[in-house]
Structure 1
Amino acid sequence: DEVRIVVIGKTGVGKSATANSIIGEPYFTSRPGAASVTVNCEKKVVNILGKKVSIVDTPGIFDTRVSSETLEIEIRKCIAMTLPGPHAVLFVLNLNDRYTDNDYKVYKYFLEHFGDKILNYGIVVFTNADAIQRANQSLDNFLENSPETLKDVLKFFGNRKIAFNNIDKSQTRIQVQCLITIIDALKQGNHNDPYYEDKNFRRVDELLRKVMQGEEKHRKTEEQLDEAKLEIKKLNEYCRIRDEDLKALKLEWPRINAAKDLPQPENYCEKEDKSADT
């Protein structure tokens, strides 16, 4: 069983920290602050609860160091890294931050670039779950007074949500189990289309397959070339030895030729026998 996940959100909400909590190791670079750490797509494949889980961390939206054109290309590449498509898209928000227009713009950004269909695969992940614990409230109660725009986003995502505490590692396992349960239910609900895809992804998939086929042909050609090089090396070694033998023979030839002119040795045993008869 396989689960493919893409993590999205604006700069500084804890995307990479959440991705690290899910895979159980500090693979993705993460540190507190308003500046985005992730600039390029990063992917990690791990085994979680007997499932092969692929998770892709994306650049932070509204990162001032990256142009909008570059960001769009990179985000599309991130989602394409889950070919044939992600089963879940995690929309990350920070419970400690006031929900603003920029947060809503992140949601609108993905809606505009990937279409309404992506809503069927979205899950809202709230980081800094310790804020709920300090308030001694449930997530639903904590969000009661949230802005209407956030309530709309949750509604559009089918009210699929979960809170993550990325600091307290003792909570990691149960959080990940809950997330995988939500994703499994999501896959069942989307049984006809268990993962998000579009024609661009299919085109990329076809190109990747062609590249892989080309690489396989290239690999076989390289192997044949290596075999030919080995045979040539053996032939060159044979020729080298033959040339050395020929040179040695040429050096010995005068002595061998001179030896042919020597008188034939007499058979002294035969002479002695004849003398005895006389």
Structure 2
Amino acid sequence: MLILIDKIVSTVLQVEQRFGRKLEVVDTPGIFDTSFDDKTVCQQIAQCIGLTLPGFNAICLVLRPDRFSKEMVETVELFFKFFGRGVDAYAFVILTYMETEEAMKNYIKGGEAKPDDEGQKAFQVLRKRCQDKLLCIDNKASKNVKEQMVWNILTAIDEANAKASRPYFQNRLTRSIEHRALTDYYLTSGLGSKRSTDGNHYF
């Protein structure tokens, strides 16, 4: 499962078959919108977690290279703080409007030559936070080129997951939400009361 952070207005779960595999993508609602307060951001992140149980394989920060700012980094820090230790291993930056990986490398190299630029400072913080897992996609590319770029992104995620302690991120927070979701399901379906009379308990 993927969580894509982008500037949209509502949480959307998309399920597709790509490259012979099932992909579940959750677009998060306007996480980088600085008009939202911290409480609202955290509430919307929690809603997204509920769509990715028992855990997600990747958090992809999908961003234009000209939109890095101090405020954006602060929002990302809130996001990582919300999940806690270990989530960095599942975090990726996907730069949009990059025609090739070479163009992305040139962008990175050019930014390193401007250490005082505020946008580049923000990018370097984000880059470090995501453990240098940088990917790219060209929004204007042909369908075939885009498909190859998507394949490259999925391959990079698979390779990172293979090195992680488990193939998907899970901690006390996600387990708590999963427990609550299962409890609500059994209570609303009537299964919980029936199981109780039988002397058996799920939790």
Q: Tell me which interval the TM-score lies in, with the shorter structure as reference length.
A: 0.7 to 0.9
CA distance in 2, matches of 1:122, 1:64: 21
The answer for the alignment partner of 1:249 in structure 2 is: none
- Higher RCO (C-alpha 8 Å, min separation 6): 2
Residue number among 106, 122, 125 corresponding to 2:91 in the alignment: 122
The answer for the alignment partner of 2:147 in structure 1 is: 173
Structure 2: segments with no counterpart, 5+ residues:
112-119, 195-203
Aligned length: 183
The structure in which a higher percent of residues are helix is 1
The answer for the alignment partner of 1:143 in structure 2 is: 108
Q: Secondary structure at the match of 2:86?
A: helix
Residue number among 209, 213, 233 corresponding to 2:186 in the alignment: 213
Q: Which amino acid aligns with 2:30?
A: G
Q: Which amino acid aligns with 2:43?
A: I
1:149 Cα offset (Å):
4.0
Q: What TM-score do you get using the length of structure 2 for normalisation?
A: 0.78
CA distance in 1, matches of 2:34, 2:127: 27
The answer for the alignment partner of 1:6 in structure 2 is: 3
- What value does the CA root-mean-square deviation take over the aligned residues? 2.4
Contact 2:11/2:27 (8 A) holds in 1: yes
Deviations 1:115-143 (A, max 9, x none): 2411110111001114x69xxx5311221
Residue number among 144, 147, 162 corresponding to 1:188 in the alignment: 162
Contact 1:41/1:75 (8 A) holds in 2: no
1:180 Cα offset (Å):
0.8
Moved over 6 A (4+): none
CA distance in 1, matches of 2:141, 2:106: 22
CA distance in 2, matches of 1:77, 1:90: 17
Structure 1: segments with no counterpart, 5+ residues:
9-14, 16-35, 222-278
Contact 2:34/2:71 (8 A) holds in 1: no
Sequence identity of aligned pairs in percent?
Answer: 23
The answer to whether structure 1 residue 50 and structure 2 residue 28 are counterparts is no
1:215 Cα offset (Å):
4.6
The structure in which a higher percent of residues are strand is 2
Q: What TM-score do you get using the length of structure 1 for normalisation?
A: 0.59
CA distance in 1, matches of 2:37, 2:96: 27
Contact 2:73/2:125 (8 A) holds in 1: no
Contact 2:4/2:25 (8 A) holds in 1: yes
Q: Which has the larger radius of gyration?
A: 1
